[in-house]
Structure 1
Amino acid sequence: MMFPAVAVTMLSLLSVGLSAPVIDCKNLTRPIEIENREQLLGKWTALAESTNMPGSQQLTKLLVGNSWVNVNVTNDVDVLEFVQYQKLMGACYSIRVNMTLANNTLSSGTPLMMRDTLLSTSCPDCLVVYAESPTTSSVLTGLQFLSKRRTVTDAEMEEFKKQVQCLGLPAPAVLNTETALCPEDSQSQETQTTDLTDTFKTMGDDIMRAMDEFLTSGSGIKDLIKLISSNVFEKN
């Protein structure tokens, strides 16, 4: 009767060894304390991101070359200036947003309504930002991985992907940080930066409502992806 018992024990150990590793979602999604604004200052390169917007991963891969943000102080000790630069289909764009730091949360009202909290990460020079942005019909949520470095280790990226999984978000889009960033790596005419801050500020409620409905519409995003893909294909 010993053999069946040994066999059952071995099979149990084998099944444990082959099962998926347990992900500690409680710690991976734990908000951290922002001790002072100095820890947020400087240049941060966006490495990967995921949102609950339909088709966001594919849209990011099609449109976004790379992205980074510069965080600066303002005259108000509780307010930080975020200047985000993005390379979209080869062109450079920027937007400036002032965010108020209070109770370990960063929030903004215009031109984009957003509420950000930082999540725990073992990466020593990284930020994992959980963002919530209300729309007319729902709330867009997302997770962004930023670092002082242009690249991180496989283990650090894997940890971020587990955080995305814990939050029930789609697989993240990983950005190509090896290409020239806007605008500092190139001063050519084609990479001059267009500032979109005033454009967003002057948008009326009707336009913002239409944008919200479009961004949260799966069919609308799919049509946009098809249009962009066909144009890229024709150019190539």
Structure 2
Amino acid sequence: MMKTLWVAVVLSFVSVGQPAPLTCDKLAKPVENLPDLSGRWHYIAVSTEVCMPALLINKIFWPSIAVDITNKGVPNLYAATVKVKMHGFCMNETEDFFQENNKLFEVNSENSPVGEPDLLLQTSCSDCIVLKSNDTLSTVSFLSRRKTITEEELKEFEMQAECVRFSKPQVLNADQDHDNCQDLDDISEDQSLTFLQQVFERVKSTHQSILKCLVDMLLSYIPATIT
């Protein structure tokens, strides 16, 4: 589900208290109690197996992402409309998916499940979901019905990414106003230049973290090369 956007989906009510954080052996396992996926979810943070893909997307485009999920009137079949906002410009994409227990599948033209599924992982956040995708770009994504989460909830997700041996999560832009922005498909030449200027300024201000990720990646390969 939503594999072209590298990213993920979350439960229906806001918890009053803070639940006890889960341990690594639980955080790496799929959920047992399935959430109701219908409604709007906000992407909070995303992790990739190595740091560079998620880092480049976040540091260059700094996107905010939301997904509206609706049941299609057929058991376990849903439509997901992903809304992406980058530097004041927006784009939408709708895909159907099939839920089978804790697995989310893409569907073919007959609405039959196909391919390797995404997995819903456990989380102590009662109105959140964690989605692990093993595709061309493998990701672990943290979504919530809220636009913002607590520091404790983010720390648990950071530990969860470490538990499944993914990179430190990138926290996405919290600007979730997807209605008041220019459609990226209708962008003019002048607006294209403005967009590129914003991307360039963003890269200039964040290039140190990109270089650090590159160094970390290179260092991680040295022991394997020596042995």
- TM above 0.5: yes
1:33 corresponds to which residue? 32
RCO greater where, 1 or 2, for CA within 8 Å and sep 6 or more?
2
1:44 is aligned, of 41, 44, 65, to 41
2:124 to 119, 122, 125: 122
TM-align CA RMSD: 3.1
Change (3 A) 1:88 1:234: closer
Q: Distance in 2 between matches of 1:231 and 1:65?
A: 11
**Following the alignment from structure 2 to structure 1, what is the Cα–Cα distance between the partners of residues 170 and 72?**
32
Cα deviation for residue 84 of structure 1 reads 0.5
Counterpart secondary structure, 1:169: coil
1:121: Cα distance to partner? Answer: 0.8
1:156 aligned residue (153, 156, 160): 153
Equivalent in 89, 100, 118 of residue 91 of structure 1? 89
Percent identity of paired positions between Structure 1 and Structure 2 = 27
Deviation string, structure 1 residues 27-75 (Cα, Å, up to 9, x no partner): 1112013546xx1110001000011266223222211330010110103
Matched, 1:171 2:168: yes
Q: Alpha-carbon deviation of 1:109?
A: 4.3
Q: How far apart, in 2, do the equivalents of 1:34 and 1:194 lie?
A: 40
* SS of alignment partner, residue 232 of structure 1: helix
Q: Which moved more, 1:102-111 or 1:84-93?
A: 102-111
TM-score w.r.t. the length of structure 1 is 0.63
Contact 2:127/2:145, CA 8 A, preserved across alignment: yes
Structure 2, gaps ≥5 residues long: 1-21, 187-195, 205-227
Specify the structure having the higher radius of gyration (Cα): 1
CA distance in 2, matches of 1:154, 1:35: 25
Q: Is the 8 A contact 2:98 2:107 kept in 1?
A: no
Are the equivalent residues in 2 in contact too, given 1:64–1:86 (CA < 8 A)?
no
The AA in structure 2 aligned to 1:121 is: T
Gaps of 5+ in 1: 1-22, 196-227
> Residue deviations 1:139-193, cap 9 Å, x none?
x32110100111111100000000001111111110121x24212xx2xxx5236
- Aligned equivalents of 1:121 and 1:130: distance in 2? 12
2:61–2:199 contact (8 Å) kept in structure 1: no
Q: What is the number of equivalent residue pairs in this alignment? A: 169
Secondary structure (helix, strand or coil) at the match of 1:55 reads helix
Asked if 2 retains the 8 angstrom alpha-carbon contact of 1:69 and 1:85, the reply is: yes
**Map of 2:98 onto structure 1:** 100
Name the residue aligned to 1:66: 64
Q: Label 1:54 to 1:171 Cα distance change in 2 as closer, same or farther (>3 A).
A: closer
Distance change in 2, residues 1:114/1:48 (3 Å): farther
Q: Show the counterpart of 2:200.
A: 232
Structure 2 CA distance for partners of 1:34 and 1:74, relative to 1, 3 Å: farther
Deviates more, 1:105-114 or 1:147-156: 105-114
Q: Distance in 2 between matches of 1:117 and 1:68?
A: 19
Deviations 1:78-126 (A, max 9, x none): 2111110111233101111100112421110469966221111111111
Instruction: Work out whether residues 67 and 181 of structure 1, in 8 Å CA contact, stay in contact via their aligned partners in 2.
Output: no
Q: Equivalent residue for 1:192?
A: 183
TM-score by length of 2: 0.65
